Chain A
Amino acid sequence: MLRILYQIMKVGTITEASLSNGPFNQGEQSTRFELLGKQLETAIKKRFQGSLAIRLVDAGSCNGCELEIHAANNAYYDIERFGVHFTASPRFADMLLVTGPVSINMKTALVLTYEAMPAPKLVLAMGDCAANCGVFGVDNYAIAGSVADIIPVDAVVYGCPPSPTALIQAILATLE
């Protein structure tokens, strides 16, 4: 236990790495992330009074997008500092984040999740699969269609998978 606490002290806060002390060759990207984050914070303040709750639904993805979402929550990107947090129930959520093509087995669950959310609600489709079924293909026997075929989508972010910076940009686009 003491060893863990000592290590925590030694590492310090690693969020918001800027040009001077950021990891190798990451400086430019992290400044961009920070800039986008500030814009996101303002947008969330305007639309959702400084608090945006996101419910994530994996409608059939390969978990590549989930890894990037996880990265957005880690100590380096720390999306929470802009007022964004992921919730356990669609009833708590302001935004539905859908990854992957909608498989036939997840179609009903996705529609139910969308209907369970209180207004005002937004939908963001994340990744190439959510946008147009990606590598899985539209004519796949197990797939019901892209996210936009099943529920109304407010914005789409492309990429396989999209980076945390792209995700921030997309959330910003959805809010505006």
Chain B
Amino acid sequence: MSSMFFQCLQAMLMLLMAPVLAGFLSTLKARLQNRHGAGILQPWRDIRKLFGKEVVLAEHASWIFRFTPYIVFTATAMAASVVPALLLDTPLSLTADVIALVALLGLARFFLALAGMDIGTAFGGMGASREMTFAALAEPAMLMSVFVLAIGAHSTNLTTMISHTLTTPLLIQPSIAFALVAMLMVAIAEAGRIPIDNPTTHLELTMIHEAMLLEYSGRHLALMEWASMVKLLLFSTLIIDLFIPWGISVESSFIGVLLAFVIWLLKLIVLLVALAVLETSLAKLRLFEVPQYLGTAFVLAFLGLILHYMLEVGA
């Protein structure tokens, strides 16, 4: 079967699986709180209902507020569809560059922050300023962590990086461990999870991501929520791709892709279980401690880079 077909399948899968995995995560968390939980399909039900609801627009909403959900969703969906999840070499894999990926997410974030300020509510502006403050610290840390691997692979293209990891013999590389820890820390911050942000909070004063969405309703809200679920899946897949890619299908055969799907799902489940346990056992960080947290991630990634030069280059 053609690799184009698998490319489309992979992109669809990322979009369709995102709410299911978000539901899986919230069910896990409910179980850890000794509750029954709403079931793994609840995010899908929420989205379906929101698409059928009326859209209420504030009086002062400009075109930015109306267009932002579509821009955010499209940018996130584009980023998610080029990340190799099942098949290594797809027609769009040339565009799967990590810097382009960060730029796409940056575009989504830029418009999200604009929309938060557009209405003029206090919480929207507050959320926007917080999001931008933390983004300015999270993005360099994420790129630095990716560069540790990119220098070894001589490319920032995901497909090239994955095939480099797959073809090189398994060695103990301390730089990768540093990069992994940094990446995990950044991913938690970027996906808006505890200890940085709490996606289920009702307290506007502690919100970061949600504070910018407070004015959205109906299909706009559905797209925004969906985009943030896709972002969580995107970061999980990125971590899998960069650090534990073994199992991804190299040639576009049906059996290979099916096997890759099962392995990808298993890895995702392990990551999400770890996240649920972490979220249950940690309290949210104070807002002013978040820069230190992200600074630590950057320093770890940077140490990884130095270690790479000290120990691994020429070895």
Task: Identify the A interface with B (CB < 8 A).
Answer: 1, 4-5, 8, 11-16, 48-51, 53, 74-75, 78, 80-81, 83, 85-89, 91-92, 94, 116-120
Contact = CB atoms under 8 A, between A and B. Distances in A.
Interface in B35-66: 35-39, 42, 45-46, 48-49, 52-56
24 contacts: A8-B280, A50-B49, A51-B46, A75-B33, A75-B34, A78-B30, A80-B37, A80-B38, A81-B37, A81-B38, A83-B38, A85-B38, A88-B201, A88-B203, A88-B214, A89-B214, A91-B56, A91-B214, A92-B217, A118-B54, A118-B218, A119-B53, A119-B54, A120-B54
A15 B37 CA distance: 9
A118 B50 CA distance: 10
The 6 closest A-B pairs by CB, nearest first: A50-B45, A15-B36, A91-B217, A118-B54, A51-B45, A89-B214
A91 B33 CA distance: 28
Contacts, number: 93
Residue of A80, A85, A87 ringed by the most chain B CB atoms within 10 A? A80
B274 interface: no
A88 B204 contact: yes
Given A13-B36, A91-B56, 8 more contacts: A1-B281, A8-B33, A50-B42, A75-B34, A83-B45, A88-B210, A89-B214, A118-B55
A120 B52 CA distance: 9
Nearest to B214: A89
A88 B207 contact: yes
Contact of A13 (B34, B42, B281): B34
Contact of B35 (A78, A92, A120): A78
Interface residues of B, number: 37
A25 B226 CA distance: 44
Given A1-B281, A5-B277, A88 B202 contact: yes
Nearest to A80: B38
Interface in B19-37: 30-37
A86 B54 contact: no
Nearest to B201: A88
Contact of A49 (B30, B38, B52, B218): B52
B273 interface: no
A116 B54 CA distance: 11
Interface string B199-221: 00111100100100111111001
Given A8-B280, A50-B45, A87-B202, A15 B34 contact: yes
Contacts of B55: 118
A81 B45 contact: no
Contacts of B54: 118-120
B221 A92 contact: yes
Contact of B34 (A14, A51, A87): A14
Interface centre among B56, B218, B221 (most CB of A within 10 A): B56
A85 B31 CA distance: 16
A51 B313 CA distance: 55
Contacts of B210: 88
Contacts of B37: 78, 80-81
Given A81-B37, A118-B54, A49 B280 contact: no
A50 B45 CA distance: 6
Interface in B273-315: 277, 280-282
B218 A4 contact: no
B250 to A, nearest CB: 39
A8 B214 CA distance: 33
A11 B38 contact: no
Interface string B249-287: 000000000000000000000000000010011100000
A91 B216 contact: yes
Contact of B42 (A16, A51, A75, A88): A51
Contacts of A12: 34
Contacts of A74: 35
Nearest to A89: B214
A43 B311 CA distance: 64
Nearest to A47: B49
A75 B32 CA distance: 10
Nearest to B220: A91
